Amino acid sequence: DRIRRYATHGYRRITEKNIFEHETRHEIYERIVALPGVDLRTLITLTGVNENTLRYHLDRIHTEGKIKVTTAGGISHYFENHGKYSYEEQILKARMFRYGSSRILHLVEDNPGLTRGELAEYLGIAGPSVTRSVSHLIEDGLIRRERDGRFSRYYPAWINSPGMPDPVHM
Return the CATH number at 125. 1.10.10.10
Q: What is the dihedral of CA 103, 68, 88, 85, to 10 degrees?
A: -100
Q: Which of 85, 117, 141 is the last residue of a domain?
A: 85
Q: pLDDT of 104-157, one tens digit each? A: 999 999 999 999 999 999 999 999 999 999 999 999 999 999 999 999 999 999
d(CA 170, CA 149): 34
Domain that holds residue 136: 99-169
Q: How many contiguous H segments (helices) and E segments (strands) does the chain have?
A: 8, 6
Judgement on whether residues 66 and 105 belong to the same structural domain of the protein? no
Q: Is residue 12 part of a domain?
A: yes
pTM above 0.85, yes or no: no
Alpha-carbon distance 122 to 125, whole Å? 8
Domain count across the chain: 2
64-113 per-position pLDDT tens digit: 999 999 999 889 999 999 889 998 899 999 998 887 899 999 999 999 99
